[in-house]
Structure 1
Amino acid sequence: MWRRIIYHPEVNYALRQTLVLCLPVAIGWLFGNLQQGLLFSLVPACCNIAGLDTPHKRFFKRLIVGGTLFATSSFLIQWLTQHAIPLPAILLAMPLLLGVTGEISPLHARLLPASLIAAIFTLSLIGRMPIWAPPLLYIGGTIWYGFFNWFWFSLWKEQPMRETLSLLYRELADYCDAKYTLLTRLTDPEKALPPLLARQQKAVDLINMCYQQMHMLAANRNNSHKRLTRAFQVALDLQEHISVSLHQPEEVQKLVEQSHAEAVIRWNANLISARLRELADDILYHRLPDRFTMEKPLQALEKISRQHPDNPVGNFCYYHFSRIARVLRTQRPLYPRDLMADRQRRLPLLPALRSYLSIKSAALRTAARFAVMLGIGSTLALSFNIPKPYWILMTIMFVSQNGYSATRVRIQHRALGTFAGLVIAAATLRFEVPETITLSIMLAITLISYLFTRKFYGWSMVGFTVTAVYSLQLLSLNGAQFLLPRLMDTLMGCLIAFAGMIWLWPQWQSGLLRQNAHDALGAYQDALRQLLGDEQAPEKLAWQRVRANQAHNALFNSLNQAMQEPGFNDRYLADMKLWVTHSQFIVEHINAMTILAREHTMLTPTLAERYLQSCEIALQRCQQRLEYDGPGSDTNILEAPENPQEGPITIMERHVKRILSHLSVMHTISSLAWSQRPHHGQWLVRRLRKPE
């Protein structure tokens, strides 16, 4: 029982965050300096946003960089304010100065908002402390935060990777359930495929997260991570076999009508999904798995495949289920992979600075967006005679996310949570509660809020607002005066952040659909070149398969976000949704062909070269239709040559032919979708990308 409590992801996270915040408060209270303890406990908020609690092979180096940036930002805003530099000017310059961190790596990019929050929080301390005190506070708080997390992760080694792997196994179980529950309902792709696409998207997202964690920890070179590395390779095998599809609904229906195949297939699928959920718990709670076998279900499926040799469905299911069963029984991957350790993009400072100074830099746009929003927020605050508008500026920073949809949801949750928290605080401040009981209640509220914050941000904001009010009450005894002004500040900050995400260099996902679709086709082309080429190294095939899945996943994520954005053509998005569905079919065929290539089920060199030429021509037709603004005939593309192959068609040929048919449909959809495109912004550019 204790394992389920202490190793549960939300409980473990809540305990860690609560202890790192509340221990300084407890120490300050014991030594009679509660105010200093409360101030010291606020520093971990910056460290959380900066991702300094992320396990990393450069953990202490990142702590030094993060603490230095926090202290520098704190000193600069005080020093510049003392020299009568206007606050809007300071907040316009500081994000642009720190924005270069976004070019170094995605993880370094989190230092920008964290450093800005450190500077903004320092505004509330100006005049209450000497100029050197806040920087020392940030340095000491970062050291405490780093030491505590190092100690915590030394007690619970590998726990972050275990949590991600456990989620991945659970998602694969749900995907297997959804796929074979809908076995006889796949005749209508518009209704049956969306839930499968969503499951596949979540699984690939978790695979990407596992890759990132392995890169950050250099897990391939760490003996303590060998068991988890093997579990990850097993998960890649499982995803490879679960995600392939036959895509012959008429054959499925025929086999179901002629036999009891549906019950047998679901029997196998249910056993597999149940075993995957057991393994997810075993990984998370540090348990050794029990023995596993599914001989009887496989024998029943094999019998059906022998009784109906002309129907490919039985043999298809038996082939993939038997390999899934072998992986689950042995707990070893079907073959070793090169997990591409330590290939995360990370630029040195000077090349990152050169890239940052380009007008096309996404990091520069993000920094400029923060600069303008903070400048507007501070200007409005000064016009309303608010000398220290830290709450408005902090709200802007907390609710601003990468995309429109995420920012809108965060704004709604934060505004409603803040309002509810202020109402609760206003009602409870009337009671005269002893300091000891107040601190105990704040401790309980903090723990409960962190239990919900990753899944239910709005509910956690209720608790965090209550603790913020009581912290101010303990610091300066003005909690009641804080209520209405802070609510107005929150609403003002949310409005500024929302306007900034809409009008300040937004990266609308619907505008990125063409580029992501073009990139996905390029990834498919690279995968087919390896599958149908001369060299079929298993390691290279496995990595290229993952890249094709990741490229399609980026496209699918863009489509999902684009369909929630305002002001775009719904007919165009509906056409692109169909395009993405056919793209998913191609990914599943590439997954199946990777399995066949690894087991040396290949084509003759001449036939493989002919099919590869046809696929490349079809892919280039689709790419050029996406790339050029004009009639299809203007692009002068050769048609794919006919294949005069006679005789029985092999499994590999069947997959290639279906890929060609999907590409033909995608080319037609591209031509139709182009007429429905939006007619503004970057859509007015005739070419998708400039020629090299």
Structure 2
Amino acid sequence: MWRRLIYHPEVNYALRQTLVLCLPVAVGLFLGYLNYGLLFSLVPACCNVAGLDTPHKRFFKRLIIGGSLFAGCSLAVQLLLAQDVPLPLILTGLAMTLGVTAELSSLHARLLPASLIAAIFTLSLAGNMPVWEPLLIYACGTLWYGVFNWFWFTLWREQPLRESLSLLYRQLADYCEAKYSLLTQHTDPSTALPPLLNRQQKAVDLITQCYQQLHMLAANKNSEYKRLLRAFQMAMDLQEHISVSLHLPEEVQKLVERSHAEAVIRWNAQTVAARLRVMADDILYHRFPQRFSMDKQIGALEKIARQHPDNPVGQFCAWHFSRIARVLRLQRPLYPRNLMADKERRLPLIPALRSYLSLKSPAFRNAARISVMLSVASLMGVALHLPKPYWIMMTVLFVTQNGYSATRVRIFHRAAGTLVGLVIAAGALHFHVPEGYTLAAMLLITLISYLTIRKNYGWAMVGFTVTAVYTLQLLTLNGEQFIVARFIDTVIGCLIALGGMVWLWPQWQSGLLRKNAHDALEADQDAMRLILSDDPQAPTLAYQRMRVNQAHNALFNSLNQAMQEPGFNSHYLADMKLWVTHSQFIVEHINAMTTLAREHNMLTPDLAERYLQSCEIALQRCQQRLEYDEPGGSNDANIMESPEMLSHGPLSTMEQHLQRVLGHLSTMHTISSVAWRQRPRHGIWLRTRLSER
């Protein structure tokens, strides 16, 4: 019982965040400096936004950089305000200067909003205390935050990676169960594939997250992570075999009608899913796995395959489920592999600065967007006669996310949560509860809020708003006066953030669909060259297979976000949705062919060369169709036509997959010829060549 409580991801996270916030308050209360304890507890908010609690092999180096930026921004704000420099100019200078952090790496990019939040916090402190006190609060607060998290991660070693692996195994279980539970209902890809695409996308996203954690921890050089590395490699094998696709709905229907194959396949899938959920709990709660066997289930599948040798579905399912069962029974991967190379872009400061000083730089444009939004927020404060409009500016930074859809959802949750929280706080302030009970209630509310923040940001905001009002009450003894003003400030900040995402250099995902589609085809082409090469190496195949999955995921994410953007072209997105569906089938065939190539189930060199040429021709036709905005036919004349039939007689399993890949590419070429001409006729969509981007 205690394992489930202390190792539960939400509980563990909530305990860590609550303790790091409330211990300084408790110490301040004990020493008679409650005000400083409450101010000290504000620093973890900056550290959370900066990601300084991320386990990293350079943990303390990142901590020093973050603390220095917080203190430096605080000092700059106080000194410039003392020189009567306008606040919009101060915030613009800070945002544009710190924007270069996004060019260094995606993890460093989080230092920009965190440092700006530290500067905004300083606005409420400037003039109320000496210049050095905010600097000391930020320096000591960051040091406390880092030391506490280092101790916590030492106490609960490996726990962040265990949480990610546990989520990955659960997602694989759900994906396997959904994919094979209702075979006869999967005949129509338009209705059956989108739910499976969502599950496949989540699985690949979790695999990418595990990769990043393993590289940040340098886990391949640490013997303490050996068991988790093995569990991760097992998950790679499982995802490879679960996500393969035969894509023969007619053959599936025939087999179901002639036998009880649907029940047997569902039996195998549910057995695998149940075992994966048990393994997810074992990883999360530090338990050793029990013995496992599914010989009866595999035997039933093999019997169906023998009874219907003319139907490929039986052999296909029996082979892949037998490989899954072997992984689950032996508790080790099918073959040893190296970790995927860490491809995250990390630039030194000088090259990053050179890249940043360009209007085409996304980091530069993001910094400019934030600086404009903060300037508008400060001017709005002037219009409302607010000397320090810090609440509006903090709202802007807290709700601004990477895309329009995420920002819109965050705005709704924050506005609704703030309204409910202010109503509750307004009612509670009339009871004049003693200070001790108030602090105890704030501790409980903080714990509950952190328990729910990952799953429901809005409910967490209710609790955080209540604690914020009571913090102001304890600091100034007039918290009631801030209630209506704070809600108005929250609404203004949300509107400014929404306007900034819509009108200030928006990165519309519908405009990026073509580029992501081109990148996905490029990854498919590299995978085909490896699979059909003379001697494909297993580690290289595994690496390229994941690149294919991740490239398709980027495309699928763009499509999902584009469907929620304002004013999108429904015909264009409907065609691209169909294009993405066929791209997913190609990904699943590549997953299957990777397993065959690793088992040396290969074609003859001459036939492999012919298939490779045909696939490359088909892929290049699709890429050129995306590249040029011209009527069909003019560009196709310069491209070799792929042969319709490359071999005669019965086809091997590898050839069946290749033939279906060619069929999907032919359909995708037709779709892209129609879809690109239906794109919107304004903004970034007017650029006809990908090379112009």
Both structures adopt the same fold (TM-score exceeding 0.5): yes
User: Deviation of residue 290 (structure 1)?
Assistant: 0.6
SS at match of 1:633: coil
Structure 2 match to 1:237 = 237
Which region of structure 1 is more displaced relative to structure 2, 15-24 or 358-367?
A: 358-367
- Write out aligned runs for 1:190-339 (5 A): 190-339=190-339
- Write out aligned runs for 1:103-182 (5 A): 103-182=103-182
Q: Does 1:648 align with 2:657?
A: no
Which region of structure 1 is more displaced relative to structure 2, 531-540 or 653-662?
A: 531-540
Q: What is the total number of aligned residue pairs between the two structures?
A: 691
CA distance in 1, matches of 2:516, 2:644: 29
Question: Retained in 1: the 8 A contact 2:545–2:591?
Answer: yes
Counterpart AA for 1:675: R
User: Deviation of residue 533 (structure 1)?
Assistant: 1.6
Question: Retained in 1: the 8 A contact 2:49–2:111?
Answer: yes
- Write out aligned runs for 1:353-368 (5 A): 353-368=353-368
Counterpart AA for 1:365: R
Q: Deviations over 1:520-564 (max 9, x none)?
A: 000000000111122301000000000000000000000000000
Structure 2 match to 1:4 = 4
Question: Retained in 2: the 8 A contact 1:220–1:341?
Answer: no
Question: Retained in 1: the 8 A contact 2:610–2:646?
Answer: no
Flag the 1:565–1:143 CA change in 2: closer, same or farther, 3 A. Answer: same
Structure 2 match to 1:595 = 595
SS at match of 2:61: helix
User: Deviation of residue 181 (structure 1)?
Assistant: 1.3
Give unpaired runs (5+ residues) of structure 2.
none
Counterpart AA for 2:664: H
- Write out aligned runs for 1:381-420 (5 A): 381-420=381-420
CA distance in 2, matches of 1:360, 1:233: 39
Give unpaired runs (5+ residues) of structure 1.
none
User: Deviation of residue 132 (structure 1)?
Assistant: 1.2
Which region of structure 1 is more displaced relative to structure 2, 451-460 or 380-389?
A: 380-389
Counterpart AA for 1:679: R
Structure 2 match to 1:664 = 666
Which region of structure 1 is more displaced relative to structure 2, 354-363 or 550-559?
A: 354-363
Counterpart AA for 2:102: G
Structure 1 match to 2:505 = 505
User: Deviation of residue 359 (structure 1)?
Assistant: 1.4
- Write out aligned runs for 1:475-554 (5 A): 475-554=475-554
User: Deviation of residue 578 (structure 1)?
Assistant: 0.4
Question: Retained in 1: the 8 A contact 2:632–2:673?
Answer: yes
TM-score, with structure 2 as normaliser: 0.99
Q: Deviations over 1:214-240 (max 9, x none)?
A: 111111111101100000000000000
CA distance in 1, matches of 2:102, 2:282: 37
Counterpart AA for 1:371: S
Structure 2 match to 1:474 = 474
Question: Retained in 2: the 8 A contact 1:216–1:342?
Answer: no
Q: Does 1:673 align with 2:675?
A: yes
Question: Retained in 1: the 8 A contact 2:104–2:346?
Answer: yes
Structure 2 match to 1:429 = 429
CA distance in 2, matches of 1:192, 1:55: 39
Question: Retained in 2: the 8 A contact 1:123–1:388?
Answer: yes
Structure 2 match to 1:638 = 640
Q: Deviations over 1:142-180 (max 9, x none)?
A: 000000000000000010100000000000000001001
CA distance in 1, matches of 2:40, 2:646: 76
CA distance in 1, matches of 2:385, 2:252: 72
User: Deviation of residue 343 (structure 1)?
Assistant: 4.2
CA distance in 1, matches of 2:644, 2:308: 32
Q: Deviations over 1:261-319 (max 9, x none)?
A: 11111111110000000000000000001100001111111111101100111111100
- Write out aligned runs for 1:90-105 (5 A): 90-105=90-105
User: Deviation of residue 346 (structure 1)?
Assistant: 1.2
CA distance in 1, matches of 2:417, 2:596: 53
CA distance in 2, matches of 1:690, 1:88: 34
Q: Deviations over 1:11-52 (max 9, x none)?
A: 000000000000000000001110000000100000000000
Question: Retained in 2: the 8 A contact 1:182–1:192?
Answer: no
Structure 1 match to 2:82 = 82
Structure 2 match to 1:346 = 346
Task: Name the % identity.
Answer: 73
CA distance in 2, matches of 1:338, 1:220: 9
Q: CA RMSD in A?
A: 0.9
Question: Retained in 2: the 8 A contact 1:99–1:109?
Answer: yes
User: Deviation of residue 342 (structure 1)?
Assistant: 4.5
User: Deviation of residue 641 (structure 1)?
Assistant: 3.4
Flag the 1:373–1:644 CA change in 2: closer, same or farther, 3 A. Answer: closer
Question: Retained in 2: the 8 A contact 1:255–1:261?
Answer: yes
CA distance in 2, matches of 1:233, 1:155: 26
CA distance in 2, matches of 1:81, 1:639: 69
Counterpart AA for 2:686: L
User: Deviation of residue 340 (structure 1)?
Assistant: 2.9
User: Deviation of residue 690 (structure 1)?
Assistant: 3.8
CA distance in 2, matches of 1:86, 1:498: 24
User: Deviation of residue 621 (structure 1)?
Assistant: 0.4
User: Deviation of residue 457 (structure 1)?
Assistant: 0.2
Q: Deviations over 1:358-411 (max 9, x none)?
A: 211111111001000001110111122111010000000000000000000000
